[in-house]
Amino acid sequence: FLMIRRPPRSTQSRSSAASDVYKRQVESLYKYTGIFFTGGDQVQILQTLYNTQNTLRASSFALQVIKKRFFEKQLALMGSSAGTACMQLSPMVTGGESYEAILNGVHFNRSDQSSENLSVDLKGGLGIFQLGYLDSHFGSYGRQGRLPVLAAQLGNLKIKWGFGIDENTGLLI
């Protein structure tokens, strides 16, 4: 089991102990053949694996190692719920319900809208899954309306595929 903590954010707030722990965690990534991303909140997963300053995103060293090993076929990546949603390169659904998505369309700022409205992060997720949109708990939470609305409203991005994944199902790439 490996839990990656957020890297120290600035030189003023870095303690040498925190930096050393982060370095050891990143070095341990070379030992593993697989990583499972659990559910929860995909935005928190991104905040852990990206260095964010202002509105820019830069991959943390941990994410760089994960992606390098994944694309070199040295590391398997799996996810459930938010751990699935965070994998995509395309704009990432961060919340919302089907009915409100159909009525109100896509919202691009998670903080200034109702939790029922379809919210999307246009920057996408971790950039690992590159075949299209991902949505989890598809049938069990009634999310079938979210992907069509997302695809219709963001049609200019020319993303061809949307994958709705449900409990007891998987997508092998």
pLDDT at position 11: 44
The model's pLDDT over 50-75, given as tens digits with 9 standing for 90+, comes to 887 656 788 889 999 999 999 999 99
> Could you give the CA distance from residue 170 to residue 78 in angstroms, rounded to a whole number?
9
Tens of pLDDT, residue by residue over 79-112, are: 999 999 999 999 999 999 999 999 999 988 665 5
Q: What is the pLDDT of residue 53?
A: 65
Q: Name the pTM for this structure.
A: 0.82
Burial of residue 151, with CB atoms counted within 10 A of its CB: 0-12 exposed, 13-18 middle, 19 or more buried: middle
**Hey, CA dihedral for 50, 53, 54, 56, is it positive or negative?**
negative
Mean pLDDT within 154-165: 90
Q: Strand pairing partners for 165? A: 136
Give the residue numbers marked as catalytic. Answer: 81, 100, 137
| End-to-end Cα separation, the chain, in angstroms | 24
Both tokens of 76, joined, read 């398997």
Residues 6+ apart with CB under 8 A from 166: 136, 137, 138, 139, 140
CA pair distance 130, 94, nearest whole angstrom: 18
Closest to 151 (Cα-Cα) out of 105, 82, 94: 105
Task: For 68-96, give the DSSP string.
Answer: HHHHTTS-EEEE-THHHHTTBSS-EEEE-
Whole-Å CA distances, 14 to 8, 19, 20, 29: 5, 7, 10, 22
